[in-house]
Chain A
Amino acid sequence: MKPPKKQINIEQPEKKKVTREQALGSRSGSLPGSGPVSSLYDVGPVEPHQQAEPEAAPKVRFEATIHAGLRASAGRIDQLDIDRVPGAKGEVRALVTPDECVRLLDEGFEVRLHHAHPVRPLDPALIETDDSVLRRLHRELGNLARPTGRKKSKRGKRT
């Protein structure tokens, strides 16, 4: 008898099942860096020989919840060596690479992907510029910034 087909469910933006091979294919980086989760659907079929060594630097990771599956009980989820991230109470949420997705599926868990996180730098728009840091320092501390650090005398200069 053929084992049941392993599947990854993507909950958002719409529920769509993705095969193990598609999860493997996402290692190649065919997910566009800025694409939504649905871009996972674009991943093409992957040949079995592509099941290579675990990749140290994945191009994408998934925010996923892990659930008991046909061959994996809920009790086994607690023993998983996987990077958990905070989630709703009772939920096992993790940041997983495509390889880890495959491993989880191989072990019989059900994996639901919620978000794809392409590996990329922080949006430069979120990073302060040197100018803005300096401006703030002068705005907040400029009137105090003297070596003694004392407040300016309101009486004015002594003669």
Chain B
Amino acid sequence: MYRTVAQLDAVMKFLADFFPQLCTRVELPNRSIQGRPIYALRMHAGSNSNRRGVLIVGGMHAREMMNPDAIVDLQLDLVTSYLNETHIKIGGRVWEALDIKVMLEMLDIWMLPCANPDGREYVMNVDTLWRKNRRDNPGTPFDGVDNNRNCDIVWGVTTSATSCSPSQDSYVGSGPLSEPETCNIKHLCDTNRIDVFLDVHSFTELVLFPWGHARTQTTDPTKRFTNLATGTCAPLNPSSHQEYMLPRDQLRFQSVARQIVADIRAVRGRNYTAEPIFQVYPGGATGTASDYVYSRHIANPALHKTYGFAFETGPMDGDLANSFHPANPDPIKRDTKAGIISLMQQSICAIEFIGEALLGTPVQALRNVRDQRLATTGAGRQLIALFKRVQIPLLGVILADESLTKDALNLFERAHKLVENDESIVNERDVKRGLALVDTLVDRATSASVRRDLGTVRKRIETTVGKSVHTILENLRKPQRRKVRKRPK
């Protein structure tokens, strides 16, 4: 069953009216072409500021009916879980009450479930397979612009999935960000700190990330979209262009997407595929929202970096109509909710949480170590990825035990002090404390992979005694040598 635009809005209004400590309903500055107000719901708990922001958008394409409902359902689940202190169980995947509490107290979660209300109304009342918004394109009999081709990233460059013809469902519009729906996304990114963005579409069971307009490469930083001609209504020039991405960003996109796939699979066994948008469309797609939000900090370095993802929820099921709006969308909505929670959870940074929220200490020194030292080599990036993998399950373990939390905070303060000076020496006591914490975590971790990762961390800590921070970091930047056993002659 699908909610009307008014019903989707009514649920958000209800949440904002009755739970103002958790939910704020915001009317976005741009109304739809037909004058409908467009609302977002901001969800957050607690009082700490300078949070990471997550923006979840649904319903950009009108006929993809399940996603606005899934997002609104998730709003209800989050409120219920937070206030009742209950877990969220979606099929075989469970998020503990503490996981949800940390998400709501650490993040600013923005949800724009129905970005294209005119389109949704049109699907419900006129044309069940309508995709675009309801723009009246002057001088042509064809209506509508594809919101997910209208964003300001290589806009107006045509591909097999992007058209300059108003008759097509992938019509780019009259200019970049010409549509109210896409302007609202820009507005939310301009006026809030948005670290992670998700655009939820249907169908084919995919978790997507940039780039969409060209193949991704990580070796030549001179190959940038900023040097490409736009608005040409012609294919990408040069056609051989491959878009640069920082290796660290690529690793982040891939590892987050892989975890989302794993979390969705845990619900009922559906196998989503994680891949760059370009892989899905022969010749790519330009002007997409997830590419746009990620491209903003490259086009304008003064802007904050936003990791942009997209889902294609649900499988091909019979025909198009049944795939876009099946009679029973509930199983797919559950997969979608699990994917969104997974992404939100991975948007938390344990270091920021412990440092800024719990200790009130800026974490810039640690951030510098991550970005300027570790992220610049393959081995360093693997270490960052390891940390990202274990931080969420371990944060839950630590916060559930007061004395463990105290140990972790003390150790954090010491580590922070050490990295402020490259010449600081790690002493025996530091190492003992570090190993004691790791051993406790190994005992309490429920996942074998987390225990394995902790084993790697333990070995690294053991080698640090008596060494300077500089030496330790240099060692972490180098690939670990594997001991090769000599074969007996």
Chain A residues in contact with chain B, CB under 8 A?
Answer: 53-57, 61, 63, 78-87, 95, 114-115, 117, 119-123, 126-128, 130, 132-133, 137, 140-141, 144-151
- Interface assignment of B334: CB less than 8 Å from any CB of chain A: no
Nearest residue (CB) in A for B18 is: A145
Q: Report the contact-size class of chain B (Cβ under 8 Å from the partner).
A: 35 or more
Residues of A within 8 A of B1 (CB): 126-128, 132
Residues of B within 8 A of A117 (CB): 128-129, 319-321
Residues of B within 8 A of A148 (CB): 21
In-complex Cβ contact of B11 among A95, A114, A133, A146 (8 A): A133
Question: Does A119 contact B312, Cβ atoms closer than 8 Å?
Answer: no
Per-position 1/0 for B126-155, Cβ under 8 A of A? 111101000000001111000000000000
Tally the A-B contacts, defined by beta carbons under 8 Å: 126
Question: Does A83 contact B312, Cβ atoms closer than 8 Å?
Answer: no
Of listed A53, A120, A122, A146, residue having the most chain B CB within 10 A: A122
In-complex Cβ contact of B4 among A121, A127, A146 (8 A): A127
Residues of A within 8 A of B316 (CB): 86-87
Residues of B within 8 A of A151 (CB): 83-85
Which 5 pairs between the two chains have the least Cβ-Cβ distance? A56-B141, A83-B169, A86-B204, A115-B319, A145-B18
Question: Does B312 contact A121, Cβ atoms closer than 8 Å?
Answer: no
- Take A84-B160, A121-B127, A130-B7 as given contacts and tell me if A95 and B320 are in contact as well, using a CB distance cutoff of 8 Å: yes
Residues of B within 8 A of A85 (CB): 320
Question: Does A54 contact B141, Cβ atoms closer than 8 Å?
Answer: yes
Known A84-B160, A148-B21; further 7 A-B contacts with Cβ < 8 A: A57-B141, A115-B319, A117-B321, A119-B126, A119-B128, A122-B2, A141-B14
From 452 to 487 in chain B, residues with beta carbon under 8 angstroms from any chain A beta carbon are none
In-complex Cβ contact of A140 among B80, B140, B163, B321 (8 A): B80
Closest CB in chain A relative to B85 CB, distance in Å: 8
In-complex Cβ contact of B125 among A61, A63, A81, A121 (8 A): A121
Interface of A, helix, strand, loop or mixed by DSSP: loop
Question: Does A144 contact B128, Cβ atoms closer than 8 Å?
Answer: no
Question: Does A122 contact B325, Cβ atoms closer than 8 Å?
Answer: yes
Question: Does B320 contact A63, Cβ atoms closer than 8 Å?
Answer: yes
From 97 to 127 in chain B, residues with beta carbon under 8 angstroms from any chain A beta carbon are 123-127
Question: Does B127 contact A150, Cβ atoms closer than 8 Å?
Answer: no
Q: How far is the CA of A87 from the CA of B359 in the complex (A)?
A: 52
Residues of A within 8 A of B14 (CB): 137, 141, 145
Residues of B within 8 A of A119 (CB): 126-129
Q: How far is the CA of A127 from the CA of B6 in the complex (A)?
A: 12
- Take A79-B160, A128-B7, A146-B18 as given contacts and tell me if A115 and B320 are in contact as well, using a CB distance cutoff of 8 Å: yes
Q: How far is the CA of A113 from the CA of B134 in the complex (A)?
A: 27
Per-position 1/0 for B1-44, Cβ under 8 A of A? 11110010011001100111110000000000000000000000
Closest CB in chain A relative to B125 CB, distance in Å: 5
Residues of B within 8 A of A150 (CB): 83
Question: Does A122 contact B65, Cβ atoms closer than 8 Å?
Answer: yes
Q: How far is the CA of A114 from the CA of B282 in the complex (A)?
A: 22
Q: How far is the CA of A130 from the CA of B65 in the complex (A)?
A: 17
Residues of B within 8 A of A120 (CB): 127-128
Question: Does B203 contact A86, Cβ atoms closer than 8 Å?
Answer: yes
Closest CB in chain B relative to A150 CB, distance in Å: 7
- Interface assignment of B310: CB less than 8 Å from any CB of chain A: no
Residues of A within 8 A of B415 (CB): none
- Take A81-B168, A117-B319, A127-B4 as given contacts and tell me if A149 and B18 are in contact as well, using a CB distance cutoff of 8 Å: yes
Question: Does B312 contact A86, Cβ atoms closer than 8 Å?
Answer: yes
In-complex Cβ contact of A147 among B4, B7, B20 (8 A): B20
Q: How far is the CA of A78 from the CA of B80 in the complex (A)?
A: 48
Q: How far is the CA of A56 from the CA of B144 in the complex (A)?
A: 11
